[in-house]
Structures are given as structure tokens and as C-alpha cells.
Amino acid sequence: MKVTLKVWRQKNRNTPGSFKTYESPELNENMSFLEMLDVVNEQLANRGEEPIAFDHDCREGICGTCSLVIDGKPHGPHKGIATCQTYMRSFKNGDEIVVEPFRAKAFPLIKDLVCDRKSFDRIQQAGGFITVRTGAAPDANSIPVPKPDADLAMDAAQCIGCGACVAACKNASAMLFVSAKISHLGLVPQGQPERYKRAKAMVDQMDAEGFGACTVTGSCEAVCPKEISLDFIARMNRDYGVALLKGDPKAIKGGGAG
Amino acid sequence: MATLNSNIPSGPLAEKWEHHKFYTKLINPANKRKYKIIVVGAGLAGASASATLAELGYDVHNFVFHDSPRRAHSVAAQGGINAAKNYQNDGDSVHRLFYDTIKGGDFRAREANVHRLAEVSVNIIDQCAAQGVPFAREYGGLLDNRSFGGAQVSRTFYARGQTGQQLLLGAYSALNRNIANGGLKSYTHAEMLDLVVVDGHAKGIVVRNLQTGEITRHNGDAVVLATGGYGNTYNLSTYARGSNATAIWRAYKRGACMANPCYTQIHPTCIPVSGDYQSKLTLMSESLRNDGRVWVPKRKEDCGKKPADIAEGDRDYYLERMYSAFGNLAPRDIASRAAKTVCDEGRGVGETGLGVYLDFSAAIQRLGEGKVRERYGNLFAMYQEITNENAYQTPMRIYPAVHYTMGGLWVDYNLMSNVPGLFVLGEANFSDHGANRLGASALMQGLSDGYFVLPATISGYLAGQNPGKRPTTDNGSFKEAEENVQTMTKRLLGNKGKRTPDSFHKELGKLMWEHCGMARNAASLEKGIKAIGNLREAYWNEVNVLGESNDWNQSLERAGRIADFIELGELMCRDALMREESCGGHFREEYQYTPDDPETKQGLVNPGDVKRRDDQFAFVAGWEYAGAPDKAPILNKEPLVYEEVKMSTRSYK
């Protein structure tokens, strides 16, 4: 099979970009989409043209590095599948495929199809953790976690941090991502002491990064390679609401013995 | 010649670590912040070490080439993490985990390190559970376990098929907490390109910012490398495409010894290669061998038939036949070699004949499809996406692929290399897995090194360094290292050849698989060394790297890494040639059990199993750079002295 690619090329964020059209060489339908790009890049390099920059790493759907909007959809045609696990058998001989980077104010472009998603790290740094010193943990079985809670926490925790939810959202909202993180830690007993403080800190950072608001259209859930449920957004909103109502807890008397 | 002193503490094996921690010098809290520690890598080992060191009060600077510290390939580990908790009451203990690991590594690991690993394993689970890692639970809310290869107890903790991801996110959250507290600085898109050695001590690194191309110098009182393994030397592997050996290789070129580079793990259950365009091989977790049965047709003629049309009596469940005690849960090296053997006999299945069946029909009959789906659903889905086949209805086809490297930079008991001040953790070092790693032990080692071992041992080194007196970055060694990096970048970009870097990587991979793969012999290794040497020379004449140095340039990144893989590949072959024995994943065809050997007659091993030569090769090979890639490296030896365990014939029958 062969396909025609319409690919966004942009040298850097200060230089305007444009779509460029490339004809693929003969392909095999068992190639992954990224292997197809490798083959096209190899062809470009052999012609002395600079290869298309795109992000990728594990190529097994778990690291969250790959991105791409393929024919208008983040991570391509399949439900619950990242770009790196999309195979060429999903396309037809002669198809024209449009490939764009993830677009969001909080994901500034680096080059061609690569954008900068460090805003996600900063949201996590704001509170996406449970405070526990190394070595200070009690025996693991001393904290039983009901299986349904553990399973639900795992559903949220599988988020790979790719940012497709943001790319799919007309408001470039990061609510699905942030809610997955907040829900994971908020669902387990270990996460309770910091639950509301965490929700507030992470939501505040999300806003500060310039992500948009949520209007519950559900496009995020539809493109999520891990099929993270929209329900987690409700869970986050509740925790955030409680955090606002509670305010910051203050000790009645400050200080202790020196 | 380098000195390889293992610095194993004296005293009984089970007490060494406790004693050593007590006798290791400490740094007082007020002085800790004056020590700056550079950590390269943020996989399980790097992230856990960075977080823990920062928590202790050191000034920690973490560098990753990824866009985020959460992307390292630890994230892809599927099956689980071992720990000697004995929650199943099935006879597990620290000593049993220790013994299984030593035996699994075919008696080529360092005894004291492995015992410490087993001791610390229980703390890791506690730590991760406290961080909120959503481990699989039983209905009572307590932790669940599964079984893995090379063990007869159930000691593997897991989080669905995404254990590595969850443990990494736990370590990443600890990292984030310390970034938020201000004790840790994180540098992303920052690739280490050289190690700076001042007066014989590792005191800094040179880094390229992948976004801007800017080269910067960073000084520190100690440098920690946790940059993973080098399996991508084979090009095709289960590693991430970005996984590379550049940090450890550049450290090697600055004097750190590379230990046992030929010890590579070929994982038995991967999706077979389908074509020349392929960029990576996908692992199907070893946990599948809990319930899947491995077989090929008994007769060559049946190989073309649909699996369902091959009668039960015409199937050869060869692992169950050859290794009845462990069956489908035989260790990885053994299962891989057995797959190669049956395929070499012409009984392989699939288009290429390089595949065996992993069949779940018995498990589905026994447990029902729902239970199998619950245990392995995501793996079956992944298999279907890649192969377009439904493994609930037809057996999976699998074949071995490069998965892990047990070799790595040489370290002593304190995880310090022979270059003082340079520490190496996780897969990047060599110490705990010997010649074969057991399943679910990589996660254990990464976190053991990072959370518990390094934070306890690094003070021993730092106590000998004056606080606040590290060399500044205008020191001559920093200048020289930066110039070295600039020169290499210029050379790569200035070369006007005709071939892409990737074409060399593919060629290297084929040479490695052919000459230094699952079975090796002297003649073939000699050929390989020659061919790779020629490839190295051709590389610098013919490679063409497009783009600029002061820009995002993935061709340039790869070109530097491939140059290192080529040199490393040559060293792997040399090590394999030197090691005239078979052990674990290192199978030299000249050294295998024959039907006439007493061990075979006693029923301990099968003909064709690996045959060690303890009288001559019970040592760690530490290779030292001789100053130029075309000069033969110098071999240093650390004898493996076992105080408690007797090196014996590894039997899984």
C-alpha cells in the first residue's frame, strides 16, 4: 500500500509553519503508524531533506511520549489506542492522511509535530503526591484498601500523561488529566490526609498554566488511549469544591516545643 | 590497570548490610545541603534516588533526555516486582529470594549484593504502597501476588499489566514532592554527553539541551548514572526507541570499567518480527506463562496447519517436557533457548518459522474467559492490535527478543564505580543479576538501589570530600569535556556521507543478533568483531546527519547514540569471545552438556543446557578503555568469592 501524507512542518515556534505533502514509498499494512513515518523520514533523509520531527519512545502505548493528531483525531482512528499502536492496516491504499501536532496554548510547539507538555509536570509538582519519606512506611498490609477502591484508583492511575485529552478539547482543558491524578490519590486511604489540599493546588496550577475550562463535551474521554472516564472530573470537582468550602486548615495555636 | 575492589563488608552474609550501614560515615544535616549530587536518569532507580537524596537534604540535580521525568522505560515493565514478604505463606523468605536470584543468575552475580537486594525487597513494597501505588488487592483489601519464572513461590506484586508504570509514577511523585520543596532541580530534554573527571574523581557532566542545542557544564560532588541498559545495541529490542547507552559509554571512555557486557537477556515471550521496517519488538509479559502453555507441533509437517487442527497428541509442550519441575515457568534464558532449539529443528510456526505458540485454551477452559480477561485483558488487547489475531480464540505466536542487559558499568558494594565519585544504579550497573535476570527482579533492583542502597552508601564517599569545595565549571577538565562534545557534534554534522544514521543501526543490529545473539561461538564472534570494527570506520566516513546543532535535531541525537552503540557492540562481542563457558543468557555452543556428562545422566540437566566452567570463569570481567576505539580494551577481573552459597549445577528439572 501507499499513502499521501499532509504533514505540519514548522521550524520552531517563532517561524510560521505550513502543511507539506509527501508520497510514501511502498508500505506494509503491518507497520505501525510511527514505523511508516520512520520509512518516510528515511526517504526524506536520503534525498537530503530534513526528516519530520515527531515525539515517540516506548512504542508500546505506555510512556505517553507519542502524540499526533491524525485526520483530526488525537492518536488516530482507534478508540483506546495511542498513535504508536496504530497500524497501517487501519488505512487504505491511496488514502490522504493529515498529520498535525497537538495544539494548545499550554503545549507550545517545539518543532514540526513536537510540542512541549511540561505544564503537566508542573501540575503534578503542585501537589500530585502523597507525602511519605523513604523508609518511613508501615508494612504494606497494615493499610488494607478495599478491592473496588483499589481497582477504581488503578483505572485513574493508568493515565499515561500524553495530553490527547487537551488536544481533543475545544477549550484545551486539562480536566481529564488532572482529575485522573487527583482521583487516583484521593481514592486510596494513604491519600486522604492531603486530599483536599492536593485538589486545590493542582487545579490552581492547571488554571495558571492556561488550560481552558471544561464544558463536559466528553471529547477527552473519546480520544484517551487509556479510556479514562469522565466520571473522574466529577470526583475532582467535588474535591475541589470541598477544598474551597473548607479553606486552608489552620492550627489554633502556632508552634511547638523547640 | 584499574583496581576492582568489591569492598564487600566482612561478617556473616545476612548481617553484612546492617553492619555496613552502621559503619558507613554519615554527613551531618547542616553539611548535607553543601553537597551537590548530579543524577542522570529518572527511571525507577534515578527517580527514587533523586527523591530520597533530596529528602535527606542533599542538593540534587536530576537530568533526563525525555520531555518529562515520567517517561523512562521502566514505565513499560508489565508483570510485577518481587519481594520476600511471604504474604502467601508458601515458604518464601529473604534467603529463598536471595537463593533463587543467585541461582537464576547462574552463579555469576555478587553474593553480598544479591542478599542485600532480597533484604531490601520487603521495604520497597511498603514504600510504594504508602505512596499510593494501586497494587492489585484481594477482596479483604490485602495485597495480591502472582508467580513468575525461576521461582516456586508466589512473590510477585503487581498492578494489572502496568506495574512498571505505577511504580515509576510513585517514584515520579516522590521526585515532584521534592521539586516542590525546593531540594531538587529537574532538567528535562537534557542529554548527558560527557562525564567530567577531575583529579581522578567524577565531578560533573556536560549536557546538551535537546530543544536549543545549548551545551552546558554542571559540577557536583558526586555523579550518579541511572540511565538504563544497552539492549538497543541490537537495534530491535523491547526497549524504547530512545533508550541508549551514551551516558554509560561516555563514562567508560573516561575510565569507568564496563562489566560483563556480553550478558544480555533474550526474553522468551515477544511478538515475532514481521518485516525489515520494524522499529521495535513488543513484549508479552512473562506473567502470561502462569496460565499459558508453550508448544510447537511435534512434526515439521504440521507447522503450516492451523493450531486448532493439530491434535493434542501431536503437540510438543516442550518446556513441560524438558523442565518438568518448573515447566512453563522455566527462567527466561532457558525458555528462550528452548524456543530457538525447536525452531532450529524446523518446528517453528508462523510465516517466518520463527515462532512458538503460547496457548491459553486450557486456562480458559479451567477458569473461564472472564477470569483470563481480568488477569491479562490489556495484554490480549495489545496482542490483537499488533497482530490482528484474537488470542482468546487462537494461541499467541511468540519468539524471543532482546529485553534487558545484565552487564553494565562495574560497581562495588557501595554502587560506586572504579572512578571515585561515580555511582551507577539500576540496569546501568552490573551487580545483581549475574548472567540471567529473573522476571520481576528489574523493578526490585532499580528501586532497591535508588530508595535504599545509594542513600545509605553515598555518604561514605562524600564524607571524604570537603563540603562546598567541589571544582568549579571553569576547571580545565570541564573545558576539555565540553570541547570533546562540541568536536563530536561538529564532526557528525560536518560529515558529508551518503548514509543515514539509522541504516547503520539496522546493520549493527543484524550483526549483533547473528554473532552475539542467543547462541555464540568463537569463530562467529571473531567475524562479528571484525565486521563491527569495519562498520565503525565506515560510520565516520559515510554517515550523513542533517539539520543544525542549535535546534531540535533528532537525527543528531540518534547519530551520537548510534556511534556509541557500534563501539559497545564490539566490546560485547569481545567479552563473549573471552568468556569461554556458557552461563545464563550467555550460551557458547562449545560449552554445553552432552548426553554423556554425569549431570545429564543424573537427570539434573538436559543435553544442550549451558555448562559453566567455575574453575576458570568465576569472575566479573571489567573492561577498561584503552584510549581509542580501535585499541583492544584491557581486561580486569574481580573474582566471585561465594561465602555462603556453593556454586552448583543450575537445575530446573
A140 and A79 in a common domain: no
- Return the CATH number at A222: 1.10.1060.10
Query: Does residue A100 sit within a domain?
Result: yes
State whether residue B282 sits within 8 Å of chain A by CB.
yes
User: Which domain does A74 fall in, by range?
Assistant: 4-111
Query: Does residue A227 sit within a domain?
Result: yes
Which CA distances in Å does B131 have to A102, A155, B241, B246, B447?
31, 17, 29, 32, 13
Backbone angles phi, psi at B467, to 5 degrees: -65, 135
Query: Does residue A256 sit within a domain?
Result: no
A139 and A100 in a common domain: no
> Where do runs of H (alpha helix) occur along B390-453?
442-447
Domains located in chain B, CATH noted: 13-263+406-462 (3.50.50.60), 267-402 (3.90.700.10), 479-619 (1.20.58.100)
For residue B544, list chain A residues with Cβ-Cβ distance below 8 A. 45
pLDDT of B168-196, one tens digit each? 999 999 999 999 999 999 999 999 999 99
- Of A131, A128, A129, A126, the closest CA to residue A205 belongs to A126
Q: How many CB pairs under 8 A join A and B?
A: 220
For residue A58, list chain B residues with Cβ-Cβ distance below 8 A. 71, 73, 75-76, 240-241
A127 and A16 in a common domain: no
Which CA distances in Å does B337 have to B90, B576, B604?
30, 17, 17
A66 and A181 in a common domain: no
A240 and A133 in a common domain: yes
DSSP H or E segment with residue B422: strand B422-424
Name every residue whose Cβ is closer than 8 Å to that of residue B556 and which is 6 or more positions away in sequence. Answer: B489, B492, B493, B545, B547, B549
Tell me what pLDDT residue B130 has: 98
Say whether A140 and B279 touch across the interface (CB within 8 A). Answer: no
The three cell numbers of residue B642 are 561465594
A95 and A45 in a common domain: yes
For residue A190, list chain B residues with Cβ-Cβ distance below 8 A. 129-132
Q: Mean pLDDT across the stretch A60-82?
A: 96
A208 and A93 in a common domain: no
Name residues 72-91 of chain B within 8 A of A (Cβ): 73, 75-76, 85, 87
Query: Does residue A189 sit within a domain?
Result: yes
pLDDT of B377-405, one tens digit each? 888 988 998 899 999 999 999 999 999 99
Overall domain count for chain A: 2
Please check the confidence at residue B13 and state whether its pLDDT lies above 70: yes
Q: Mean pLDDT across the stretch B27-42?
A: 97
Say whether A141 and B143 touch across the interface (CB within 8 A). Answer: yes
Say whether A185 and B283 touch across the interface (CB within 8 A). Answer: no
> Where do runs of H (alpha helix) occur along A82-145?
118-127
The length of chain A in residues reads 258
> Where do runs of H (alpha helix) occur along B346-368?
361-367
Looking at residue B215, its amino acid is I
Helix A231-246 and helix A195-208, axial crossing angle in degrees, nearest 10? 100
> Where do runs of H (alpha helix) occur along B433-515?
442-447, 454-462, 476-494, 501-515
Which CA distances in Å does B145 have to A13, B50, B286?
49, 29, 14
Tell me what pLDDT residue A51 has: 97
A163 and A184 in a common domain: yes
State whether residue B500 sits within 8 Å of chain A by CB.
yes
Name residues 161-180 of chain B within 8 A of A (Cβ): 162, 164-166, 169, 172-174, 176-177, 179-180
Percent residues over pLDDT 90 in chain B: 94
First to last CA, chain B: 42
Query: Does residue A131 sit within a domain?
Result: yes
A215 and A175 in a common domain: yes
pLDDT of A4-49, one tens digit each? 999 999 999 999 999 999 999 999 999 999 999 999 999 999 999 9
Tell me what pLDDT residue B398 has: 95
- Return the CATH number at A75: 3.10.20.30
Question: Between A12, A78, A124, which is nearest B176 by CB?
Answer: A124
**CA B343 centroid distance within chain:** 26
Name every residue whose Cβ is closer than 8 Å to that of residue B325 and which is 6 or more positions away in sequence. Answer: B152, B652, B653
What average pLDDT does chain A have? 95
Sequence-separated contacts (24+) of B597-606 with Cβ below 8 Å: B599/B649, B603/B653, B604/B649, B604/B651, B604/B653, B605/B649, B605/B650, B605/B651, B605/B653, B606/B322, B606/B323, B606/B653
pLDDT of B288-298, one tens digit each? 998 999 999 99
Q: Mean pLDDT across the stretch A64-92?
A: 96
Which CA distances in Å does A115 have to B72, B132, B378?
18, 30, 28
Last residue of a domain, one of A66, A84, A111: A111
Say whether B71 and A55 touch across the interface (CB within 8 A). Answer: no
Q: Identify whether the C-beta of residue B564 lies closer than 8 Å to the C-beta of residue B89.
A: no
The three-class DSSP label of residue B461 is: helix
A242 and A123 in a common domain: yes
Provide the shortest C-alpha distance from residue A38 to chain B (in Å): 8
Q: Which residue numbers of B are catalytic?
A: 332
Q: Mean pLDDT across the stretch B351-373?
A: 94
Tell me what pLDDT residue A256 has: 58
* Angle B132-B46-B95 from CA coordinates, rounded to 5°: 70
First to last CA, chain A: 75
What average pLDDT does chain B have? 96
Say whether A143 and B279 touch across the interface (CB within 8 A). Answer: no
Last residue of a domain, one of A54, A81, A111: A111
Query: Does residue A231 sit within a domain?
Result: yes
A91 and A136 in a common domain: no
Quickly list DSSP for B143-212: BP-B--TT-SS--EE-STT-HHHHHHHHHHHHHHHHHHHTSEEEE-SEEEEEEEEETTEEEEEEEEETTT
pLDDT band at residue A138 using 50, 70 and 90 as cut-offs:
very high
A87 and A149 in a common domain: no
pTM of the shown model: 0.97
pLDDT of B132-150, one tens digit each? 999 999 999 999 998 888 8
For residue A145, give the chain B residue with the closest CA. Answer: B141
Last residue of a domain, one of A61, A90, A111: A111
The three cell numbers of residue A95 are 488514502
**CA B331 centroid distance within chain:** 16
Question: Between A63, A124, A147, which is nearest B139 by CB?
Answer: A147
The three cell numbers of residue B322 are 524438558
Query: Does residue A252 sit within a domain?
Result: no
Tell me what pLDDT residue A253 has: 66
Query: Does residue A60 sit within a domain?
Result: yes
